[in-house]
Structures are given as C-alpha cells and as structure tokens.
Structure 1
Amino acid sequence: MSTTASRRRPATASGPDSRSAPRRRAPRGRPRRPVRRPYQRAVMRRRLIAILIMVTVTAVVGTVWFTPVLGVRAVEVRGAVNLTADEVREAAAVEAGTPLVRVDVHAVDARVRELPRVAGVHVERLPPGTLRLTVDEREPVGVINSPDGAHLVDATAKDYATVTGPPSGLPELRVGPDALAAAIGVITQLPEALRREVLIVTADTPSDVRVTLSAGREARWGSSADTPRKAAVLEVLMTRKGSVFDVSSPELPTVS
C-alpha cells in the first residue's frame, strides 16, 4: 500500500516578533591605544640612557681638553739642589691654565734636560692641576782647573758647570780632550776606598792614563780597559814598598 506522507515544513512565524533582531553596534568613543610591549619600553629606556651617556662624555671631554677648569695651576719641582725651582720652571715653559691632559710631557722633559746640570727628569700629571717635575742633577766625579774657573765633569765625561772653586774630595783632571773619557772611565770604576786616594789623573792619550795617589805615589794605568782587575792588582801592590806601581799590564805588574 502506498501512502504519501505529507512532509510538513515548520511553520514560519509571522508578525513583528518573527523578524530577526538587528545587530548591536559597539558604542562610539576614543579609539583604543595599542598596548606597548615590555621590550619596546626597555628599548626606549636604553636609547635614552645611551644619549645621556654620550652627552655627558662629550661635556667631560670638552671640559678636560678645551677649558682651563682642569688646567695647570702649579708646577711642582723636586730634586733640585744646585738649580732653583724657578730655573726649572722657566726651562719647562708650561703656560698656566694649559689643560693638564694636553701638556706634552716628552717636550717638557726635553726642554728641562737642556739645562746643563740636569741628567734626567721625570714629568708627572697630578690632577686636578699640578705638574710635577722630579729632577736628577748631575754629580761631579772630577774637576778641570782652568783660568775661568773649575769645570765640573760628571760620570758621562760631560763638562757641565763652572764654579769659582773646586769642591773638596774631587780629583783634578789634567787630560787632553781625547783622553777625558778614558780618565773618567778609570775614576768611576775604582773601588770607593781607592778612589779616595786619587788626587790627580793625567792623560795625554786614551792609552796613557796615570793616577797620582796620596803620599806621593803614582799608578801607571795605561788605558781604561780592565780597570776593575787593575784596581785589584794595585791594592795588593800598595802593600809593598815603592812609589810607582805599573798596572798597565795587570798580568805583569811592577813596583819601583
């Protein structure tokens, strides 16, 4: 038996309530600001800090290098004995107010060394405004008597100063210009006890050095080579009777 099942469609509601409800719109107002992420804020902070550091460094460098705020206010001199502090300052020629970091210490060193009495100098910058000069003066080891005065000679054989009277305890040098270095080489290598016995050093040539000792004794030295050995031999020979001790050949010394 065939039956036709009537398919029923759902009834469509009609009337005002059957209309679809309209969509609700969001209320209008200020647009929302995008939320900054934490790392963006950190980047901004780092940039600001970097800018502040650059500005600070630039200000410090400008102050130190180009203004007298940290300039030279005092030139301190140490080690000067025969020289005066003013003589050293004048030779250094450092203008007051010069930025301390811009002082050329090598140039100052060279200018101070031009003073004949100066053997060396150490230049130091002492912030905020002091330049210290520590001077090493030459010390005489012999003296050359001349009509214009007594010429002081140091261990480098430099004739560096002339005084009216020779200091006590220094041997007199009666040497030619070519023999001066040889005579100084002998004096500076002698033991202290033997050096105190030396009165005069004579030399016409570098290989003909003669040493006049106290009590009328003389040592014929020859050249300045092997001076420590010759001095040791001389100390032994001086225990014997004699007035002339020849140590020019230390292997074959003689006494007469």
Structure 2
Amino acid sequence: MTVPVRTVRGRRTAPRPDRANRRPDRRAQRRKILRRRAVALLTILSLIALAYGVWFTPLFGVRSVDVRGTVVLTEDEVRTAAAIEPGSPLVRLDLKGIVTRVAAVPRVASVEVERSLPGTVRILIAERTPVGVVKASDGAHLIDSTGKDYAVLSTAPPLVPELVLSAPGQGDAATRAAVGVLNELPEKLRPEVQSVAATTGADVKVTLTQGRIVRWGSSAETPRKAAVLLVLLTRPGTTYDVSSPDLPTVS
C-alpha cells in the first residue's frame, strides 16, 4: 500500500498521526492524575483522622502516671496532687498546671513533668531536706535550706541542729541568716553543731558540742569564718568569736 506524501514548500513530509491514535495516551495520563489525587486525598484524610484521634479521643490518652524521686511522700500522694484524669489526651495535658499542683505539696522542693508516648505521664520530684528544726508546742518544725517551714513531726529528727528563732519563716531576717550559715558550713564542722540562734540578721550564735559557743555575726563570709574557726578550735576555750574573721578571739 502506498502512503501519500505531502509536500510543504518544496519538501515532502509524512502525514500527521491520526487523532484517534492520541486518545489512549491522554486517557492513561488522566488515570495517573486521578490516582495521584486519590492518594493525596487519602493521605490528608488519614492525617486528619490521626490528629483527631490524638487530640480529642483516648487513643493516645493517659494510661499511667509514673512518679519518681519520692522519699517520705508516697507515689499515690503525688498522683493525687497532680490530679491527672485517666484517658485525658496526652498532647493536651496542661503540664504547667500539673507542676503547679504538685509543687504546692509542702514537702516538694522541685518537680518536672514529662510526656512519654503512647500513654505515660512521668513526674520527677525532689523532696525538701531539713537543715534545722524549730521546737514548738505543737512539735518539731522542719526548716529547709530556703528557710521554709514545710513539715511538723512529733519529735525532732536526729543529727539536725535546732534553730532558736523568735519568728521562723522565709521572710524573717534572723531565719535567713541562721539558715545561710548552716548552708555553707563545711562537712567537717557540721557534726559539731548542736544549735543555731539569732534574733536579727547580724547576731548569729552557733552552739557546738561540749557547750562551746561561737559568735558568728552575720552569714556573710561564712566559708572564711568556718576556716578560721577550725583553726581556733585547736585551742582550749568555751567562746569563739569569728564575727570579724580578721580579728578572731578565744576565751
């Protein structure tokens, strides 16, 4: 069969393909486009469903509350203070609110809250430790390194110095001075301390074993005063004055 050949401007060209031959290619391209759109739509719908499940359903809800760091407190006491509703969506938890509620427990010094997928809330706490104890009619008040009165016991714990203060509390200058001295004492000297007394922020007096009295003054330069005192204690005496560490005395 002879194929007709057309001439354009003196040159012969082959005939154009029939339009009917192009239709299968266009239909295949359309099918590819439709498939891509369907995949994209399904992906978007899946992401929306997942986001809804995470944010608004118990799919990734709280299943357990893991408490760590307790010493005197129980884990259940911390969980009660945290007040985390079981099944609450994990990503929507008010972590700051949980921290605030747990930190309000008097014995808690610090608290951190973490999420752990798929459904665990982890609460890490540090409890307060006493640096001194104030004896009162209702019991022994434990005072921590910040001067906070955080617990009352029937009897004073052993090896914790007594604080002799007229108005113990974080806002009291005498309390801050007495606690400031205790916070900076070297380990070598701590077992010797029986009590710390103060009426103002500048008249701290420390009582050591064997009835020895140390006139400390303010809490300023406590490490230096402690170093001077350790030297003075090698000399016999009952009263040691390190309120001015440049001019210490023993009597």
Q: TM-score range by the shorter chain?
A: 0.7 to 0.9
Amino acid at match of 1:89: R
**Structure 1: runs of 5 or more not aligned:** 1-29
Q: CA deviation at 1:41?
A: 5.7
Q: CA deviation at 1:122?
A: 1.4
Aligned partners of 2:249 and 2:28: how far apart in 1? 99
2:85 to 95, 111, 118: 95
Q: Which residue of 1 aligns with 2:100?
A: 110
Amino acid at match of 2:72: N
Aligned partners of 2:55 and 2:143: how far apart in 1? 43
Aligned partners of 1:184 and 1:173: how far apart in 2? 9
Q: Please give the secondary structure, in 2, of the residue aligned with 1:184.
A: helix
Aligned length: 227
Q: CA deviation at 1:211?
A: 0.1
CA distance 1:151–1:36, shift in 2 (3 Å): same
The 5-angstrom pairing of residues 151-230 of structure 1 reads 151-177=141-167, 178=172, 179-230=174-225
Q: Please give the secondary structure, in 2, of the residue aligned with 1:187.
A: helix
Q: Which residue of 2 aligns with 1:55?
A: 45
Q: CA deviation at 1:105?
A: 0.9
**Structure 2: runs of 5 or more not aligned:** 1-19
Task: Give TM-score, length-normalised by structure 2.
Answer: 0.86
After superposition, the C-alpha distances for 1:93-144 in whole angstroms (9 at most, x for unaligned) are: 1111101111111110010000000011111111111111111110111000
Aligned partners of 1:233 and 1:39: how far apart in 2? 92
Q: CA deviation at 1:176?
A: 2.8
Larger radius of gyration: 1
Give the root-mean-square deviation of aligned CA atoms: 1.9
Aligned partners of 2:44 and 2:187: how far apart in 1? 63
Q: CA deviation at 1:33?
A: 3.0
CA distance 1:220–1:32, shift in 2 (3 Å): closer
Asked whether the 8 Å contact 1:210–1:221 carries over to 2, the reply is yes
Q: CA deviation at 1:39?
A: 6.6
Q: CA deviation at 1:44?
A: 4.1
Amino acid at match of 1:193: K
Q: Which residue of 2 aligns with 1:253?
A: 248
The 5-angstrom pairing of residues 14-33 of structure 1 reads 33=23
Identity of aligned residues (%): 56
